[in-house]
Amino acid sequence: HFQHYLKTFEALFPQTAGVRRAGAAALDLAYVAAGRLDGFWEMSLKPWDMAAGVLLVTEAGGLVGDFHGEKSYMDSGNLIAGNPKVYKSL
């Protein structure tokens, strides 16, 4: 998965003002929900890494999905989350 992660990072990094990682998906998703971060992506997450954060993001008006824009992120472990503008760009 590391090579796929680097490839994704290389594509996204030039379009950002910076990349920040707290080290925990739940915390990063809470920051997205609070507006401290605009977007989030990660692969190979477990449901317990995502569940609470996904709820926070959606309740705050954000969008979540897998890498294809579908709702199978709990099965695949691949998650994109963000405000509506950033989510569509990711």
pLDDT tens digits in sequence order for the chain, 90 residues long: 767 767 766 666 666 666 667 779 999 999 999 999 999 989 899 999 999 999 999 999 999 999 899 999 999 999 999 999 888 877
Question: pTM above 0.75?
Answer: yes
DSSP annotation of 14: G
Measured in whole angstroms, the distance separating CA 56 from the mean position of its chain's CA atoms is 12
pLDDT at residue 23, rounded to an integer: 78
Which helix (DSSP H) or strand (DSSP E) does residue 46 occupy?
Answer: none
Task: Determine the 3-state secondary structure of 73 from DSSP.
Answer: helix
Whether residue 61 contacts residue 38, with contact meaning beta carbons closer than 8 Å, is answered with no
The residue whose two tokens read 């990682």 is 21
pLDDT at residue 59, rounded to an integer: 98
CA atoms within 13 A on the CB side of 53: 29
pLDDT at residue 20, rounded to an integer: 65
* CATH architecture of the domain covering 26-89: 3-Layer(aba) Sandwich (3.40)
Q: Where are the domains of the chain?
A: 26-89
Two tokens, residue 17: 């003002």
